Amino acid sequence: MQATEAVGFQSGRQMTNYIKTQWQLAAHSVRLSSPDKVMEAYYSCIDQMCCQSEKQLNYVHINAIVHGTAKVWTAAGERHGCWVAGVHAEQNMRIFIARMLRRLQPLLPAIGARIAANVLWSSAKLGLDPDALVPGMTDSLAHQFMADMDAANGQEFANVLVACAKLQLNPCKGALFKAMCGRLAVADLSIFDSQHVANILHSLATITAAEPSVEMLAGLCQRFGMLLSRHQGSNRPNELPTAQHIANTMWALSKLKYAPADELALSMVDRMVALCHVPWRQPTPQAISNLLRACAELSVPVKQMDTGSLASFFLGSNRGQGTQQNSANTALSLAVIGHLCQAHFARMLDQMLALSVNHQELSELQLRQLYQALDWLQPPASTGTLQGDAWLNLKDKMGRLGARPACDTQPSFGAQLVCAALTQLSLRYKAAPVIGGYRPAALLVPVDGGAAIVVAFESNICLKNKPSR
């Protein structure tokens, strides 16, 4: 990289533009030459500028430097998909960022929510806890964000939570999360877009110290629903939530044990189905897998036509071969929902058998999930020979993938009592498959093509806002 010579600056804006030019040049150069040499030249150029312009350097400039470094580092990691930073490169990066944060430390009382959020987000992109470089820096940034939180927008709330989730931080001993959740519960969310909502929920679902209220989750869901319906039928489809936003939102709600309104959940599923037919906006296999798993865990009354469409797209054009885990999750999720069909399951197993030829063997968890799905498909003894033979063919394919793992858990005593009662009532049922922490007791066999009925009972894993589920 040919670094521009650092000279005197007549204004702070000139310095900001110079910093932006340097990191943009470096981000372009790492794709063309040795990332290590480009990074070293970038550090040297910025350090020279800082030394020559110490009196003019303010928190805006330091934020631009940390942000730009995160952009360059990310670009270096993406270079041909093959550059992996060595110990020396990581050490140099840590030393450089530590110098910048030490310059920022005396300026902290002047920064607001935007700068605090940006520095935390940029640090997370670099994989660095600011405290590890400058003791007390993470809490100081959190305090500054809280002090100016009323001025924070959706992007800044999302940036802070994404950073804390990525680095598993708990700033100010939980005070930050308590303040943020309290503020989000009453905030005007009209300026939050679908990515902000999805990122906030996804982060809260992965931060163990966060305790979002039902009111806050309801507000975020309401906002997501408005964004999903606002432009339907208009000529601005790009403003609708993406497939990834939908998948992340539903996944997060399932982990947070919060059931969105059925209307919203079904709208998200409908939108995902529609996106399967929109080039360049189609969902990934993992997005479909996560959505179906969330529907299973939240007991969403999803339509079989929609799950069938998602399963077909998942399997089509080899998209189902994304990972073995995606396929196992999808099969079990469809079983829990009650919509797994033999044809889709057979195609999943065929794809897995093809991958197993290349020594991509299934884990014990994946095998357990698939055998649970197979049990769901087992026809009653009175079923005709044709359907029975089809199931035996599925069983044979499962045997070629691997032996059934030993059962690691026995049915709970409560589940045994429920099944005993159903037997006494002469009701036909199946031992329902288990997914995540959701553990139903049994599943009544549909009559005359009706919907399956899940038999469960309340416990400490029930949904926050719908205990009956």
Measured CA to CA in angstroms, residue 60 lies from 108, 109, 296, 362, 433 at distances of 11, 13, 47, 51, 55
339 three-state secondary structure:
coil
The domain total for the chain is 1
Cβ contact 128:87 at 8 Å: no
Report CA torsion sign: 336, 337, 342, 344: negative
Q: What percent of the chain is helix, strand and coil (3-state, nearest 5)?
A: 65, 0, 30
Q: Has residue 230 been placed in a domain?
A: no
Residue 383's region, left for phi above 0, alpha for psi from -120 to 50, else beta, is beta
Pair type for strands 442-444 and 429-430: antiparallel
Q: Taking Cα atoms as reference points, which of 201, 194, 200 lies closest to residue 241?
A: 194
- Give the range of the structural domain holding residue 445, as residue numbers without chain letter: 413-455
Q: Has residue 360 been placed in a domain?
A: no
Q: Has residue 333 been placed in a domain?
A: no
Could you list the mean pLDDT of each consecutive 10-residue stretch along the chain, which spans 469 residues? 49 87 92 86 94 86 96 81 69 96 95 97 96 96 96 96 96 95 94 95 94 95 92 60 97 95 96 93 94 94 96 79 84 93 94 81 90 85 71 93 76 69 78 58 66 59 70
383 three-state secondary structure:
coil
* CA atoms of 434 and 431, how far apart (whole Å): 9
Q: Has residue 429 been placed in a domain?
A: yes
Q: Please, where are the H alpha helices in 148-238?
A: 154-167, 175-186, 194-206, 214-230
pTM for this one? 0.85
Q: Has residue 437 been placed in a domain?
A: yes
DSSP codes of every residue in 235-262: S-GGGSPPHHHHHHHHHHHHHTT-PPPH
Write down the pLDDT at residue 447. 64
* CA atoms of 104 and 115, how far apart (whole Å): 11
Q: Has residue 447 been placed in a domain?
A: yes
Q: Has residue 70 been placed in a domain?
A: no
Cβ contact 164:170 at 8 Å: yes
Q: Has residue 438 been placed in a domain?
A: yes
> Widest CA span of the chain, in angstroms?
89
Please work out, in degrees rounded to the nearest 5, the angle formed at the alpha carbon of residue 420 by the alpha carbons of 416 and 424. 170
Amino acid code (one letter) for 303? K
Measured CA to CA in angstroms, residue 47 lies from 54, 96, 279 at distances of 10, 8, 45
